[in-house]
Amino acid sequence: MKTKITELFGIQHPIIQGGMHFVGLAELAAAVSNAGGLGLITGLTLRTPELLAKEIARCRDMTDKPFGVNLTFLPIVNSPDYPGYIRAIIEGGVKAVETAGNNPQKWMPMLHDAGIKVIHKCTSVRHALKAEAIGCDAVSVDGFECGGHPGEDDVPNFILLPRAAESLKIPFVASGGMADGRSLVAALALGADGMNMGTRFIATQEAPVHSNVKQAIVAASELDTRLVMRPLRNTERVLHNAATDRLLAKEAALGAKLKFDDIMEEVAGVYPRIMQLGEMEAGVWSCGMVAGLIHDIPSVKELIDRIMLEANDIIRQRLGSMLAA
């Protein structure tokens, strides 16, 4: 399939694997790229720019296809060494960067001078327009359904994507709730040039996480996510577990007085315990409503091939036959 996104990133299929803390390591990024999509290493999961440089080199050993790096600009107390991370990306010869969180304007000249294409992930049309205005090459439009941080506007993709299509000149991918060929065709119909998946890629053979995490996604339904940290205006969609209940009880009890310090136990440093050790109740972790559509743990290649076959079938057979009738 050829779209503005496949052309922009030099990939075969219009499918991107979004950055995911402690999931988006070289194994997954390389598997996605080898299967014809765009895999992304999650920059901040590597604690230092030196470790990111090594991860980029490791990924390059596993694939000769294009892959990228996610750089998340989040309100973290001790700001990471962003210039160092960007140097590692440039020196590593990476040609695609997914930015997320805050506005990446400050870093655009460095990235573009190095020939890097920038796709900014955002959750509203106004932020997508801002990304376009500062020179981003594409945006990833993350609807309210998404795993991770859906923003504070709560607009689902059935509205958000066509609104983005009405407003943007640069290409965009649909993100949040995407799982299969149906998602891809729907995304294209709503004006996107591809799709970005997070949660779906965790439940794959190559995702370098504990099997408990994959099983939890397969077991979950679309009713099993919760929104946490809303009072801090840092809303995150996470899988429902005991830590989620504890956190929500604190939010209810403290109301407007809630501070980040109050919920440290549930959110700080929990990803390695969950993703690597499989301690599923250790804290809250991002998961999309799309868990309800995830019923198996295929290899990345099986997943992507299946998506493309299904999308083809829907376009040519199902939709095509409706027109012919």
Ligand X SMILES: Cc1cc2nc3c(=O)[nH]c(=O)nc-3n(C[C@H](O)[C@H](O)[C@H](O)COP(=O)(O)O)c2cc1C
Which residues would be at the binding site for ligand X (CB under 6 A)?
18-21, 23, 42, 70, 72, 100, 121, 142, 145-148, 175-178, 196-200, 285-288, 290
CB of 294 to ligand X, least distance (A): 10
Which CB, 174 or 263, lies closer to ligand X?
174
Q: How far is the CB of 199 from ligand X (least distance, A)?
A: 3
Helix (H) or strand (E) holding 172: strand 172-175
> Phi, psi (5° rounding) for residue 69?
-130, 135
Among residues 13 and 21, whose Cβ is nearest to ligand X? 21
CB of 75 to ligand X, least distance (A): 13
- Within 10 angstroms of residue 109's Cβ, the number of other Cβ atoms is 10
Nearer to ligand X, 27 or 145 (CB): 145
Provide the 10 A C-beta neighbour count for residue 5.
Answer: 26
Residue number with CB closer to ligand X (80 or 162) = 80
- 145, 156 Cβ separation under 8 angstroms: yes
Instruction: Indicate the pairing of strand 236-239 with strand 225-228.
Output: antiparallel
Write the DSSP symbol of residue 157. H
User: Which two structure tokens, joined as six digits, stand for 282?
Assistant: 């250790």
The smaller minimum CB distance to ligand X, of residues 95 and 237, is found at 237
- The residue of the chain with the least Cβ separation from ligand X equals 198
Smallest gap, in angstroms, from Cβ of residue 255 to ligand X?
28
User: Closer CB to ligand X, residue 203 or residue 248?
Assistant: 203
* Cβ closest to ligand X, residue 6 vs residue 196: 196
CA angle 44, 47, 49 (to 5 degrees): 80
Report the nearest approach of ligand X to the CB of residue 187 (Å). 11
Query: What CA–CA distance (Å, rounded) separates 88 from 92?
Result: 6
User: Which is nearer to ligand X, 143 or 191 (by Cβ)?
Assistant: 143
Q: Measured from the CB of residue 248, what is the shortest distance to ligand X in angstroms? A: 19
Nearer to ligand X, 2 or 74 (CB): 74
Rounded to a whole number of angstroms, the minimum distance from the CB of residue 104 to ligand X is 11
Residue with tokens 């996107």: 192
CB of 136 to ligand X, least distance (A): 14
Q: Which region holds residue 10: left if phi is over 0, alpha if psi is between -120 and 50, else beta?
A: left
CA-based nearest residue to 274, from 190, 206, 323, 217: 217
Distance CA(136)–CA(117), nearest Å, equals 8
Q: How far is the CB of 77 from ligand X (least distance, A)?
A: 16
Please check whether residue 278 is in contact with residue 185, taking contact to mean a CB–CB distance below 8 angstroms: no
* Contact of 1 with 254, CB cutoff 8 Å: no
Q: CA 42 to CA 55: how far, in whole Å?
A: 10
114 burial (CB, 10 Å; 0-12 / 13-18 / 19+) is middle
